Every structure is written in structure tokens, then in C-alpha cells.
Amino acid sequence: MTTSSSSSHNEEEMDDNHHHAIDLSVKIGSFVLPGDPIGKITDLKVRIGPGLSQNKDLINAIKPGFIKYSKIHKFYWVEGNQKRYEPAVEDMVVGIVLEKYGDNYKVDIDGSVPATLSILSFEGASRRNKLTIPNGAPIYARVAVANKDFEPEIVCVSQKNKADGYGELMGGFVFQVSIGHALSMMKPTCYLLKALGNITSFEIAVGMNGRVWINSANILDTISIANTIMVGEYLTPSQIDVILSKPW
């Protein structure tokens, strides 16, 4: 979802004092290793994200990292700094259109293989009303199908078949951060984005594949915002304040 700088980004939140959709074997925030049991599903609306696998109603870790949870979306994932993105259903990703073939686009989402995007996977799209997206254009999309035996499929609509911020990202600048940093920016408590939003206006789309799209009033501000986000992963709030207090 494309969001503005007024700190209204994707509201991910971790809360261990909450009725969980999984009967947890570990505490939220615990470090887990591949093969570690995470728990048993108790709510069918639960969403399983990167670093986790499901076998019937049992959830196990498949990547090392910290177990995280979004109360708002009933979403669990393992937060690490893996370099290669592994698509999971309902992930929000920033992709780059590679080419059009038939009724589909091939889109780079930084996985092991490109994803497939149907020309009909946009709000209001039809055989007579086809949206044309040029090669190299960035898009914000949702992973609809993720299977290790097939190419992932992405769509540019929400579960309600509405655009809701998905689609081609016009203008701006795309850059890469670690997956862990991207996930941290999806939290409502992300100090970095709040601090940036207090001094300048911009649009941002953060993908769970570690890609970030930024757009602002001018290219110099866009580059400065992107540079601040990239170095911000390693800074404390006080260090961020020092950087943002200086002229851009």
C-alpha cells in the first residue's frame, strides 16, 4: 500500500499479551532456528509469513530469526536478515515489471524466479479494459500464490478486489534494504518514518521483499529520504534526530 509521510504506514505490531491465532510453543520475540516448533493453529484466519511453514495445523520455523506477530492482521513471521526473499501468500511486495507475455506480466520481486501478474489482476480490468504497464515500471502488489513448485503469482488488488494502494507506482525511486529493516518499517512504532514525516512530505511503499519505493516533491528530497532510510537501519533514535537536524 502506498502511504504518505504522516506516519500512516502499514500497521504491524507485536503483542505477547493477546489472544493468539496460534497456540504458541515459543514467546513472541524469541529467537528460533529451522525446524523449531512454533505452535498449533487455533484460528483459521491466521496468516503465515516469511520464515514459517505450515503442515496441517502445525507451524514450524524454516529460517533463523525472531518470531514476530501483527495483532492487527493476525500475521506471524520470522524476522531475520536473509538476503533472498521467499514469497509467502499475502505478502506485500514492490516489484519491477520485466516483460509482457500473452495476458501476463513477468515481474521481478527479488525471489529465485520472477512472479506472474495477470493483466486482469487490477481493479476494473477486463479484456476490453486492459491496463498497460511499461517494462521497468515499479508496482506494489500482493502475493496470491506461493508454492515452491510453481512461479509465484501476484495481484494488484486487495482481498476485496479493490486497488487499495496496489498497482503501478508512478515516478519516485526504488531501492533495496534488508528484509528485517523493511519489516521494521511496517510497524506503527517505526521511529525512523515518524521522524522523517515530521520534517518533510513523501509517499512510501514498503515491500516485504526488502524493496522500498519513495516519492516526494523533488528528486533531491527523494534521494535524501532514501539515503536516510538506508542508513537508518543501524541508527538509534537519537542518532536519527542528529542526522535530520542537519540541512539536507
Whole-number Å distance between alpha carbons of 212 and 183:
11
Rounded Cα distance, 248 and 245, in Å: 9
The span from the CA of 12 to the CA of 186, in Å, is 5
Predicted pLDDT of residue 195: 96
> 3-class SS at 237?
helix
Closest listed residue to residue 219, CA positions, set 187, 173, 179, 178: 173
| CA 214, 12, 237, 51 torsion-angle sign | negative
> How far, in Å, CA of 64 to CA of 222, rounded?
34
Q: What is the pLDDT of residue 186?
A: 87
Strand order in the sheet with 58-61: 22-24, 37-41, 58-61, 52-55
Give the global pTM: 0.73
Query: Beta strands 167-168 and 3-4: pairing type?
Result: unpaired
- 43, exposed or middle or buried, with CB in 10 Å at 0-12, 13-18, 19+? exposed
46-59 tens-digit pLDDT: 778 778 888 888 99
For residue 219, give the C-alpha cell: 528528486
pLDDT digits (tens, 9 = 90+) for 13-41: 444 445 677 888 888 888 888 899 999 98
The segments of the chain whose pLDDT lies below 50 read: 1-17
What pLDDT was estimated at residue 129? 79
pLDDT for residue 49: 79
